[in-house]
């Protein structure tokens, strides 16, 4: 399999961590790719006209252009699956909220990369508010996170990667102060081999 990704994308990290947890790391070639390049690599565009990472090309040549889709495909086709929580819809809801944290954080990073004169503080505030409300919900439901020493469900994996991305890119939001009930679980989750193996370089 071939995975177009980079070292910092939290969407790509979801897939990289999931593959590590499923024992598939040896079966995937990671192709470091800049989806924002003025001329994105033709190989990525052929697989994903949206020019986004992650994009997975399976051994059968199927191109999967989205992290949630890739995780669904892995869960449906691989024998060594991530655990499925018994409270399925509650877990799916938590996964969606954690995914929203990632989306809002990435949107903030992109907003801050615009020329200073056209950065919209109101847009940054809106994303920060969404992240903080989502953290409140995840913190209220922290008992659902379970044992960080166990292989994570998709909801837990997404939550852990969202928090790690806030540490990397939006440390000033100080999620630990907002959601202290997530700290102990996150610290143990962040020490998992899958997380250590996919650690991004320190933010510049």
Ligand X SMILES: N[C@@H](CCC(=O)N[C@@H](CS)C(=O)NCC(=O)O)C(=O)O
Binder of ligand X out of 68, 93, 133, 178 (CB under 6 A):
68
* CA separation for the pair 63, 81 (Å, rounded): 20
Binding of ligand X by 18 (CB under 6 A) = no
11 binds ligand X (CB under 6 A): yes
Taking the complex as a whole, the smallest distance from the CB of residue 5 to ligand X amounts, in Å, to 9
Q: Which of 21, 35, 95, 163 is in the footprint of ligand X by CB under 6 A? A: 35
CB 32 within 8 A of CB 26: no
What is the rounded distance in angstroms from the CA atom of residue 186 to the CA atom of residue 81?
22
* 106 binding ligand X? (CB under 6 A): yes
Out of 3, 9, 16, 161, point to the residue binding ligand X (CB under 6 A).
9
Residues 185-204 close enough to bind ligand X by CB under 6 A: none
Displacement of CA 197 from its chain's centroid (Å) = 14
Our CB check for ligand X shows the closer of 33 and 153 to be: 33
Q: Which stretch binds ligand X (CB under 6 A): 64-72, 73-81, 117-125, 131-139?
A: 64-72
Tell me which of 43, 66, 132, 167 binds ligand X, using CB under 6 A.
66
Q: With binding defined as CB under 6 A, does residue 52 bind ligand X? A: yes
Instruction: Report how far residue 195's alpha carbon sits from residue 160's, in angstroms, rounded to the nearest whole number.
Output: 9
Instruction: Tell the burial category of 147 from Cβ atoms under 10 Å away from its Cβ (0-12, 13-18, 19+).
Output: exposed
DSSP per position, 110-131: HHHTS-GGG--HHHHHHHHHHH
Contact call for residue 19 and ligand X (CB under 6 A): no
Cis peptide before 54 (omega within 30 of 0): yes
Buried b (16+ CB within 10 A) or exposed e, 106-126: bebbebeeeeeeeeeeeebee
Residue 159 touches ligand X, criterion: CB under 6 A: no
Q: Return the number of the residue (35 or 160) whose C-beta is nearest ligand X.
A: 35
Q: How many helices (H) and strands (E) does the chain have?
A: 9, 4
Choose, by CB under 6 A, the member of 36, 96, 140, 184 that binds ligand X: 36
* Residue ranges that bind ligand X, judged by CB under 6 A: 9, 11, 35-36, 51-54, 66-68, 106
């Amino acid at each position: 399999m071939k995975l177009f990704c980079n070292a910092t994308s939290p969407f790509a990290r979801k897939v990289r961590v999931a593959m590590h947890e499923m024992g598939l790391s040896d079966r995937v070639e990671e192709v470091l790719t800049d989806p924002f390049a003025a001329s994105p690599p033709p190989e990525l565009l052929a697989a994903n006209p949206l020019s986004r990472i992650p994009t997975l090309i399976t051994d059968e040549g199927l191109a999967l252009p989205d992290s949630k889709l890739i995780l669904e495909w892995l869960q449906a086709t691989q024998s060594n699956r991530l655990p499925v929580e018994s409270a399925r819809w509650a877990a799916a809801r938590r996964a969606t909220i954690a995914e929203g944290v990632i989306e809002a954080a990435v949107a903030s990073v992109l907003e801050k990369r615009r020329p200073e004169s056209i950065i919209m503080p109101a847009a940054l505030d809106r994303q920060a508010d969404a992240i903080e409300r989502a953290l409140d919900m995840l913190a209220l439901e922290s008992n659902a996170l379970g044992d960080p020493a166990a292989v994570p469900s998709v909801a837990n994996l997404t939550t852990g990667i969202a928090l790690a991305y806030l540490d990397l890119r939006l440390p000033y939001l100080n999620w630990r102060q907002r959601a202290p009930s997530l700290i102990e679980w996150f610290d143990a989750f962040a020490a998992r081999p899958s997380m250590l193996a996919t650690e991004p370089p320190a933010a510049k």
